Amino acid sequence: MNQTLNQTLDDLEAYNQLIEEYASQHDGEISDELAEWETEFLDKLISKVDRTASFMQNTKKQIEIAKETIELEKKKQKHLDTILKKTEDRIKWTMETNELKVLKGDKRSIAIQGNGGVAPLKIAPEFEPNEVQYKVPVAGKQYPPEILTTVTVIDKEKLREFAESFEADENGLTVKGDPAFRIGERGTRVVVK
C-alpha cells in the first residue's frame, strides 16, 4: 500500500514509541531486527519526502502556468471583445446610414434588431435628485433638527406612467415640451442569424 508522507510520519511516531519501549525493557539496547527495520523505514521516509517535495514544486509550477494562461486568455478576450465591438459598430452605422435592416449572405445574415425591455426613462441631470448620504436615526434617540436631512426621491415608475400618457413630439419630448423628463428610444444591436 502506498502511503502519504503524513501516514509515514505517523508510522515514525509509532516506531519511536516502540523503540523506547523495547529499549527500556532491554537495558537501552535495540534488536538487530529493529535496527534493520529502522534503516528501511528511514530510506522509505527520505524517498517519500523527496517525492512529496517534487509534487509540491511541480504543483506550484502548474499553478503559475495556469495563472499566466488565465491572464493571457483575459487579454485575448478583451482584444477580441474590442475587435467585435468595433466591427458591430461599423456595420450598424453603415446599415443605419443606408437604411438597411438586413444583409443576407448565402449561409448567414446580419440584421439590426431592437433591444427588448422597457424604453429608458430620461431625466435631465438638473432635475435628478441629489443623492444625500445620511444616517438613519436610532429608535428612541432625539436628534436636533439641524442635523437631519430631508431626501426627495422621485418615483420613477409613476413618472414613467405620466410620461407615457403624453404623445411625443419630433424631439422625443412630451407634447408640452417638458425638458425635465422623457421616454427615450430603445437601443438596437447587430445580430447574426
For the stretch 23-75, pLDDT in tens is: 777 777 777 777 787 788 788 888 888 888 999 999 999 999 999 999 999 99
Cell reading at 176:
408640452
| Whether 111 and 90 share a structural domain | no
Report pLDDT for 152: 65
Which of 41, 53, 54 is CA-nearest to residue 8? Answer: 41
> Residue 95: pLDDT band by 50, 70, 90 thresholds?
very high
| Whether 66 and 134 share a structural domain | no
Give the predicted TM-score (pTM) of the model: 0.50
Mean pLDDT of the chain: 78
Q: What percent of the chain has pLDDT over 90?
A: 32
Q: Which of 71, 94, 117 is the last residue of a domain?
A: 94
- Give dist(CA 156, CA 50) in Å, integer: 68
Radius of gyration of the chain (CA): 38
| More confident position, 186 or 192 | 192
List 123's β-bridge partners, or say none: 181
Q: Which of 63, 94, 125 is the last residue of a domain?
A: 94
| Whether 42 and 88 share a structural domain | yes
Query: Is the CB of residue 111 less than 8 Å from the CB of residue 92?
Result: no
State mean pLDDT over 162-174.
59
Q: How many residues does the chain have?
A: 193
| Whether 169 and 107 share a structural domain | yes
| Whether 75 and 50 share a structural domain | yes
Report pLDDT for 182: 67
Report pLDDT for 73: 97
| Whether 14 and 77 share a structural domain | yes
Report pLDDT for 62: 97
| Whether 30 and 49 share a structural domain | yes
State mean pLDDT over 132-158.
64
- Contacts of 34 by beta carbon, 8 Å cutoff, 6+ apart: 18, 19, 22
| Whether 116 and 185 share a structural domain | yes
| Whether 82 and 12 share a structural domain | yes
Is the pLDDT at 180 greater than 70? The verdict is no
| Whether 141 and 118 share a structural domain | yes
| Whether 23 and 72 share a structural domain | yes
Query: What is the extent of the structural domain holding 15?
Result: 5-94
Report pLDDT for 103: 92
Q: Give the number of domains in the chain.
A: 2
> Residue 139: pLDDT band by 50, 70, 90 thresholds?
low
Q: Which of 52, 75, 94 is the last residue of a domain?
A: 94
| Whether 109 and 165 share a structural domain | yes
